[in-house]
Structure 1
């Protein structure tokens, strides 16, 4: 089958090409999906450059989220019994989604609603499952919390804005690189936003909350002064969830440990791709129970920046690298 390869196994976007690789074997409890579309994620850029450790046993082919049609089923497990050949599905995998076919556990696929396109469905799994994990499983969100989401126009934060609002957040703040992105987040449900290029979001959030600060922070940046400012605007018993290191893995200034102790701030790092299958299934089930009905009734919205042919995978990666997007970048297998 065809799949996206990397010349020399790592390199810039221009090293990507359409390769020929063996069709993946299907193990007990797995299904083989003929992929119609796949979503791009920041981890794909890191993996392409050789900076992202692939989980043990995962395919080296890029990509963790996809949509398509079940072509083959292996096993009699209860999870497999809920699917049949020909079903339209979308799901999350440990790797291998930049390809014509993928073998994936039936525990990590979801029936695609008829009203949802393959392009839309391919952009759901990583963003919405990550947002669910960050807010609820790791961040211990509770009704009435004030929330801060960095990279407000990213697919994960756009999902988190909607999930937090639906769950009863009292205030939702975002950071972004432009007023256009901030306005976009406010239209979706954010209370206010701050331009991290021109404003000190730590100070601004303290002003906006009358000095109280926020109860839950989801941070993908960490470096560039972010963690220091997170601690500054943290409320008592705040939970800070660190999901990525887009701004670097070192803080610019010494961390104020006294503030962490005084405010009882909990800082916890988390990843999704390295989690066990059962952990990911728990998140999938929560998405099915709580978010999918909202998609069906149009209460939750999906945002796609651009759809590419997978033959234009170089341009798709370059667009993601530009940091100018709002929502998902999707590639279709054509």
Structure 2
């Protein structure tokens, strides 16, 4: 098969060995589209290696067609249209993955749209509803609101009755977030968001991919017993956490990653999406937001665009015409 290889931080489409035959409970997917994520940039740069045993090829989500079943596969048949959450290997013509990490594509979506679902909606659902345990009416602050995860999280908050406030990098991005259901927002280029969020009424849960100085600011806008879920640290590892405020406010800081979880753990997230989110996609209340697409041979160009921070929603790579 052909797949993306990384050489001197450059992405090249070249021939590589096919994945091994599917084991018990695994399926082989002919990849149609692959989603691009910040984690792929980190892996390209050597800062985020795949979990032990996972493919070294970039790519954490795909859509495509089931082409081969391993023993004891119960949920799928050859020819099914599916999307999958991966630990790696998505920038390729084929991928082998546990059936627990795969879902049939909602009837209302095509293969391109479906590739924008697995990683961002799984990340948003896991961290808002499973880690932070959002309860009825609780208020949410989403940093990087116009990102793939951010645009998914806005729609989930809106659908399940959670007012949400976003931080973004431009007025245009803020307008898009509002159109998706965000109640209000703040342009990060205007400085600290603390006073604006306080005036909005404070928040109970914060989804934060930034870290750095944001953690101290987050603490200042959290309501009592609020939760911060840290999913990345694009702003650096050094923080200004106030331990006194942490204790007095009974605040909780939760570190969370999705990629390194077991297939069973990822499967529980995918099952939750199938139960709670897939019906909303079929009804049109939730939709994947795709910014741009490129052929897989232009993955290097696509990744440079992702690094520019100009995108809103997902970037996708077309792999085949499956």
TM-score (norm 2): 0.97
Confirm or deny that 1:173 pairs with 2:165. Answer: yes
Q: Partner of 2:189: helix, strand, or coil? A: coil
Alpha-carbon separation, structure 1, partners of 2:60 and 2:203: 32
State the partner residue of 1:288.
274
State the partner residue of 1:135.
128
Alpha-carbon separation, structure 2, partners of 1:327 and 1:216: 22
Q: Partner of 2:103: helix, strand, or coil? A: strand
Q: Partner of 1:247: helix, strand, or coil? A: coil
State the 1:91 CA deviation. Answer: 0.7
Alpha-carbon separation, structure 2, partners of 1:94 and 1:204: 38
Alpha-carbon separation, structure 1, partners of 2:160 and 2:81: 29
2:226 to 229, 238, 250: 238
Alpha-carbon separation, structure 1, partners of 2:144 and 2:36: 16
Confirm or deny that 1:188 pairs with 2:180. Answer: yes
Residue pair 1:149, 1:174 contacting (<8 A) in 2 also: yes
Which structure 2 segments of 5+ residues have no match? none
State the partner residue of 2:58.
62
State the 1:255 CA deviation. Answer: 2.4
2:207 to 181, 199, 218: 218
How many residues align structurally?
Answer: 319
1:24 to 19, 23, 26: 19
Residue pair 1:119, 1:307 contacting (<8 A) in 2 also: no
State the partner residue of 1:3.
3
Residue pair 2:107, 2:282 contacting (<8 A) in 1 also: no
Residue pair 1:113, 1:296 contacting (<8 A) in 2 also: yes
State the partner residue of 1:92.
85
State the 1:203 CA deviation. Answer: 1.4
State the 4+ residue runs in structure 1 displaced beyond 6 angstroms.
none
Alpha-carbon separation, structure 2, partners of 1:104 and 1:124: 16
Alpha-carbon separation, structure 1, partners of 2:104 and 2:243: 47
State the 1:115 CA deviation. Answer: 2.7
Alpha-carbon separation, structure 2, partners of 1:220 and 1:85: 38
